[in-house]
Amino acid sequence: MELNLNGFHHGAKTSKSCDLSMSTTLKDENRISIFQQKRIRGWWPFVKSGELTGKVEAEFHLVTAEEAEKNPVGRARKEPEPLDKPKGDECN
């Protein structure tokens, strides 16, 4: 995936409002520079061959190298916890 950080499109506020029209109406007034905004959050559609194939909710933060070293992503977090095994009839 390639992201244009100078011409980043605003995301939808909700999953329901994230639809195919977001990718077909890519007007310049809907674009922002993440270098100016520094932070953006929303829902974006995945489109393949003109068809909506999925949606992603994401939040982007632009930080300096110093800020990134102070607070590295993924560190100092709890390890993933396994799910309980399903209960009920099991197929053999």
Q: Where are the alpha helices (DSSP H) in 1-92?
A: 21-24, 34-37, 65-70
Gap between the Cα atoms of 77 and 86, Å rounded: 26
Quote the pLDDT of residue 68. Answer: 84
Quote the pLDDT of residue 29. Answer: 66
Quick: pLDDT tens for 6-64. 887 888 999 999 988 887 665 666 688 888 888 889 999 888 888 999 999 998 888 88
Position 46: which residue type? F
Q: Is the pTM of this model over 0.85?
A: no
Quote the pLDDT of residue 76. Answer: 56
